[in-house]
Amino acid sequence: MKENKNNRFELVAVHFINELKAIFNDSGALLILVGAMFIYPVLYSVGYFNETLTNLPIGVVDLDHSAASRKYAEMIDASSELNVSCKPESLLSAEQLFMENKINGAVLIPKGFEKEIMAGRTANVSVYADASYFLKYKNEILTVTYANAYFGGGISVLRYMAEGKSIQQAKVSNEPIPSQTHILYNQASSYGSFIMPGMILIIIQQTLLIGIGVLGGSFSESKSSPFLLSAKNRRKEIVPLLMGKTGAYLFISLFNIAFALIIVHHWFNYPDKANLFEVMMLIFPYLLSVIFLGIGLSTLFKHRESAIVFMVFLSPVALFVSGLSWPVSAMPEWIVTLSKIMPGTTVVPAYLRLRTMGVGISAVKTEIVFLYIQAAIYAVIIISVFGFRILWDRKPKTEQTVSQ
């Protein structure tokens, strides 16, 4: 019994070393499995380094030319989100500047703006915001909304004071129910801190799937499928082969995880409220599930290019169903159910809750159990494929060629 265990450990070690050799001897797989994980997280993080959109150039068309209209324009310009880069003489001129991509929107202050305000009537201001780009649109609309609120509040306070009220009474009368906003978990409301932690996990998933698929396609091209083992004790070698291959990819992933989830995370100051050990408790079954899925998919590819094409096609889908670009709660139920095939769909919301919100490991134990079950299912499928191929072809292809 002890000898059999030793033999199995030796087989695992042999397949572990062989898989590592295959990875490091294949420049394409090495670039995807290692190089891409050092390039993409840094590249995306640098791209989102400014975190928020600021100083978007807009035009203010002031047709009133009054002290009130100039004050209103100054309030918009004083915000960090918008920059009044020009004051076109007409809306037509502003439209021309917009088409030339010199401004991102325009605010029209109509003639009679100050007169309407002094008479106690509503003064209308028109905002022309670019809704084809939601981040710019949000900045423009919110900034003008805040300017309206402050400008209107100032006028109301002055009117109440003119009626004989103190400044404190005027403030209370203007805003009887003051609102208090508390921004949780992402206090700067920054896009980079929102998108990148989850994006890194999707990058880990896709690079692993592509790299494993490329190696599987290479084996198929060379007519030496990784599922055809030596003729002696092939059935006993199925599990050691799977464990050896999995160990090799886990070994490579350790360096990627250390770089992407620790170094990059702290370089760019992403929210971090979790214990690193708890993070690893969630990431480990995730890696197992992704690796088993990749090994299973790699059996389908006859050429290495097929793996790249298929996984590149799958990448936007993986990102979409993760809930980063659109809330999962707003997706059709059948898409949510189907998306559970991808481990990233389960781990991304759990990881964000754990690391960004700091909920603790007990709050994501359901996701951890699900990932282990998912990994086990993929492992059973792979072992079944091993067994089926051995029964289908009892002799290795090399032996068949010699006998023929």
- For the segment 144-203, what is each residue's pLDDT rounded down to a tens digit? 888 888 777 777 766 666 666 666 766 666 666 667 777 777 776 777 788 888 999 999
Q: Are residues 43 and 60 in the same domain?
A: no
Q: Are residues 45 and 144 in the same domain?
A: no
- For the segment 309-367, what is each residue's pLDDT rounded down to a tens digit? 887 788 888 888 888 888 888 888 888 888 889 999 999 999 999 998 888 899 999 99
Q: Are residues 143 and 215 in the same domain?
A: no
179 found inside a domain: no
Average pLDDT (38-54) is 83
Q: Are residues 347 and 234 in the same domain?
A: yes
Average pLDDT (215-244) is 68
pLDDT at 404 over 60: no
Do strands 126-129 and 56-62 pair parallel, antiparallel, or not at all (unpaired)? unpaired
Q: Are residues 154 and 90 in the same domain?
A: yes
Q: Which of 174, 203, 224 is the last residue of a domain?
A: 174
181 found inside a domain: no
79 secondary structure, DSSP code: S
- Which residue type does 137 have? Y
**What pLDDT is attached to residue 399?**
46
The boundaries of the domain holding residue 100 are: 56-174
**What pLDDT is attached to residue 160?**
65
Q: Are residues 288 and 368 in the same domain?
A: yes
Q: Are residues 211 and 304 in the same domain?
A: yes
- For the segment 75-133, what is each residue's pLDDT rounded down to a tens digit? 888 888 888 989 998 889 999 999 988 999 999 998 988 888 887 777 888 889 888 88
126 CB contacts (<8 Å, ≥6 apart)? 107, 108, 110
**What pLDDT is attached to residue 310?**
83
Q: How many domains does the chain have?
A: 2
Would you say 110 and 124 are in contact if contact means Cβ atoms under 8 Å apart? yes
Q: Are residues 29 and 126 in the same domain?
A: no
**How far apart, in whole angstroms, are the C-alpha atoms of residue 61 and residue 88?**
5
Average pLDDT (236-247) is 85
- For the segment 140-160, what is each residue's pLDDT rounded down to a tens digit? 888 888 888 877 777 776 666
pLDDT at 396 over 50: no
**What pLDDT is attached to residue 397?**
47
Q: What is the CA radius of gyration of the chain?
A: 30
Q: Are residues 210 and 103 in the same domain?
A: no
Q: How many residues does the chain have?
A: 404
Looking at the chain, the whole-number percentage of residues with pLDDT higher than 70 is: 84
Can you spell out the DSSP letters for 259-297?
A: IIIIIHHHHTT----S-HHHHHHHHHHHHHHHHHHHHHH
pLDDT at 227 over 60: no
Cα–chain-centroid distance for residue 179?
Answer: 32
Q: For residue 66, give the CATH number of its domain.
A: 3.40.1710.10
183 found inside a domain: no
Mean pLDDT of the chain: 82
Q: Are residues 168 and 208 in the same domain?
A: no
Q: Are residues 35 and 63 in the same domain?
A: no
224 found inside a domain: yes
- Record the tokens describing residue 319, joined without a space: 């990102």
Distances 363 to 352, 353, 369, 379 between C-alpha atoms, Å: 12, 8, 12, 26
Q: Are residues 153 and 218 in the same domain?
A: no
361 CB contacts (<8 Å, ≥6 apart)? 275, 278, 281, 282, 354, 368
pLDDT at 213 over 90: no
Would you say 53 and 81 are in contact if contact means Cβ atoms under 8 Å apart? yes
* Residue 221: how many other CB atoms lie within 10 Å: 14
Angle at 132 between CA 126 and CA 134, to 5 degrees: 85
**How far apart, in whole angstroms, are the C-alpha atoms of residue 111 and residue 95?**
19
Q: Which of 128, 143, 174 is the last residue of a domain?
A: 174
Least confident of 43-47, 49-53, 256-260, 371-375: 49-53
Q: Which of 122, 143, 174 is the last residue of a domain?
A: 174
61 CB contacts (<8 Å, ≥6 apart)? 87, 88, 89, 90, 91, 93, 94, 106, 107, 108, 109
* Residue 129: how many other CB atoms lie within 10 Å: 20
Q: Measured on CA atoms in the order 361, 364, 368, 371, is the torsion positive or negative?
A: negative
